Amino acid sequence: MRRPGRAVALLLVLAALTACGTKAAEPAEPSGQPGLIEPTPSADGFIAAVMRTRGLGTAEATFDVTTTVGDTTRDLTGSGAIGLPQGYGDITWVAGDGTATRELSNGKGLFVQSSPPGGMWTHLDSEDDTPTGRLAEPLRLLGGLQGWAAKDVEDVDDRRARRIVGTLPVTSDSLNLMGLSNDDVEAIGSVPGTVDISAWIDGRGRIIRVDRTVDLPETPIGPVYAHTSTVLDDFSTTIDLNPPSSSLVSEAASSS
């Protein structure tokens, strides 16, 4: 599993915040003028926005995911709380047919509840063990954005934000953030292509939305298309990523 040391630190911080019932302070407005959108942000400014957003610690997140592999299309929506520095979270996913699944990741593995809110949980070794367990890390790889360009100011849920666009090469790391299964990512392999990225920066210098799209007409498993959209709000609030009670958790058959 990934980054156990960071996970312990995150849990301690969140436990402390829960105990005192406070909200972590957000950084001051960069310009002293709330809502101001920089007219021509630089590439360094974008990296600063990534770091600034990650430094806020936590956020509420909503997700829209569409994947098509060959002739099979899957649509999902998700909502929950995430820890931005580590990419852990507590997210409930709803499929197109209404089936709900809850996933909680905290550095101790991935806990999956197939019948929320009251069902039993299954413990998997890592958040990498499901296609959606990795999506609690919307800022991942943004520091390596290529072909960076600033676009128009747009509305994101009634918040004004500057859209930044760029690309990432198709790799296992970039595909792992697209809602594809491990088997699909492995089968796609090193097919040439790019993942198109759009990120929106608000007047406080925070990234409040990230979209990723990949379209690969020819792969060993047929045409592959995937799109994820993540909207962030309510930064720096207390969240609880403690694991479920052990009495409600069973180990996955593949766990060692």
| Residue 146 resides in a domain | yes
CA atoms within 13 A on the CB side of 197: 29
| Residue 34 resides in a domain | no
**56/201 Cα distance (integer angstroms):** 14
111 pLDDT more than 90: yes
Q: Which of 49, 58, 51, 50 is nearest to 10 (CA)?
A: 58
37 pLDDT more than 90: no
DSSP conformation class of 182? H
| Residue 201 resides in a domain | yes
Rounded mean pLDDT of the chain?
Answer: 86
Sign of CA dihedral 202, 6, 175, 227: negative
| Residue 62 resides in a domain | yes
pLDDT at residue 127, as a whole number:
86
pLDDT at residue 145, as a whole number:
94
69 pLDDT more than 80: yes
Q: pTM of the full predicted structure?
A: 0.84
When pLDDT is cut at 50, 70 and 90, the band that residue 5 belongs to is very low
When pLDDT is cut at 50, 70 and 90, the band that residue 237 belongs to is very high
Mean pLDDT to the nearest integer, 63-91: 97
**159/39 Cα distance (integer angstroms):** 16
| Residue 35 resides in a domain | no
Number of domains into which the chain is organized: 1
Contact call for residues 160 and 37 (beta carbons, < 8 A): yes
165 pLDDT more than 90: yes
For 204-230, what is each residue's pLDDT tens digit?
A: 999 999 999 999 999 999 999 999 999
89 pLDDT more than 60: yes
When pLDDT is cut at 50, 70 and 90, the band that residue 245 belongs to is very high
12 pLDDT more than 90: no
**232/109 Cα distance (integer angstroms):** 23
Contact call for residues 102 and 117 (beta carbons, < 8 A): yes
| Residue 152 resides in a domain | yes
| Residue 31 resides in a domain | no
Looking up residue 102, the CATH number of its domain turns out to be 2.50.20.20
Whole domain around residue 164: which residue ranges?
A: 4-20+40-249
| Residue 256 resides in a domain | no
Q: Which of 1-10, 66-75, 240-249 has the lowest mean pLDDT?
A: 1-10
